[in-house]
Amino acid sequence: MITAGIDMGSRSIKIVLLEDIQVEGAPQIKYDMKKPYLMMPGDLDLDQAAEIAFDNACKEAGVSRERVNKVVSTGAGRRQVGFAADSVTEMTAGAKGAVYVFPNAKTVVDVGAEEGRGIKADASGKATDFAGNEKCAAGAGSFAEAMSRALQLTLKEFGEASLRSDKTIPMNAQCTVFAESEVVSLIHANTPKEDIAKAVLDAVASRVCAMVRRVGIERDVVLIGGMVHSVGFVSSLKQAMDVEELLLPEYPEYVAALGCALLAAETH
């Protein structure tokens, strides 16, 4: 059986195709994750973009669309997916995927482009509690992205630069819009890029951490979402949450889509 999970994020569409593998005597069903597929929506309608992304994902995985038994969607645009049999929240999908990748995960931190959230998960991968902020860009990837643009660095370089700094410059502004002016004044004061990058990532981490604290920080802690790719953010978050280890999945931005594909397989 083949199932698919599609995560309609605010910035990109992520698709995971799963095929179950029967292993004689194994207690649990194993899954084979086909090549994960990512697409940035541009000028397209969301439903049209979902169609194109799904077609391309099937093509890349070498599976015809008809062979996919069930599709479950998640993300901000989850209701725009016409071919999905079901849709679940980002919390449900994220917890499911994270616990599948790391079976001992209790706390899942999800930092994407426009939202950051903390999720509490039980052993079966069910989300039991969550705290998030969807009204404000502070504490999400777009904040770091806007600031890296002001420094003329890519998000990846921005994260790497922050690791080279050992300074702690507190950011006063809560709001991304105000923080941008604060960064500009730091630039004009000839503050090294590295220190500014660390100040920004520390600020995002402290806001994310405040949300995660509301559900409680219990080991193991998993970080999912695109911000995993920023090494500086991972380090700042570790420090803010005061944990030695933060589990990072191999494909951090696909974890919610993977969760959807798993839920599709379980409910089919």
At residue 190, φ and ψ (nearest 5 deg) are: 60, 30
Minimum gap (Å) between residue 231 Cβ and another protein: 19
Using an 8 Å Cβ cutoff, are 111 and 98 in contact? no
**In this complex, which beta carbon is closest to another protein, that of residue 71 or of residue 144?**
144
Minimum gap (Å) between residue 190 Cβ and another protein: 6
Write out the residues near another protein by the rule CB under 8 A: 10, 43, 114, 135-137, 142-143, 146, 151-152, 174-178, 181, 185, 187-188, 190-194
Minimum gap (Å) between residue 178 Cβ and another protein: 6
Minimum gap (Å) between residue 100 Cβ and another protein: 31
Burial readout 126-145 (b: 16 or more C-beta within 10 A, e: otherwise): ebeebbbbeeebbbbbbbbb
**In this complex, which beta carbon is closest to another protein, that of residue 187 or of residue 231?**
187
Minimum gap (Å) between residue 73 Cβ and another protein: 19
**In this complex, which beta carbon is closest to another protein, that of residue 36 or of residue 232?**
232
Minimum gap (Å) between residue 232 Cβ and another protein: 16
**In this complex, which beta carbon is closest to another protein, that of residue 126 or of residue 164?**
164
Contacts of 166 (CB under 8 A, 6+ apart): none
**In this complex, which beta carbon is closest to another protein, that of residue 103 or of residue 192?**
192
At residue 159, φ and ψ (nearest 5 deg) are: -65, -40
Of the CA atoms within 13 Å of residue 230, those in its CB half-sphere come to 32
**In this complex, which beta carbon is closest to another protein, that of residue 134 or of residue 218?**
134
193-215 and 176-188 helices, crossing angle to 10°: 150
**In this complex, which beta carbon is closest to another protein, that of residue 152 or of residue 154?**
152
Minimum gap (Å) between residue 183 Cβ and another protein: 10
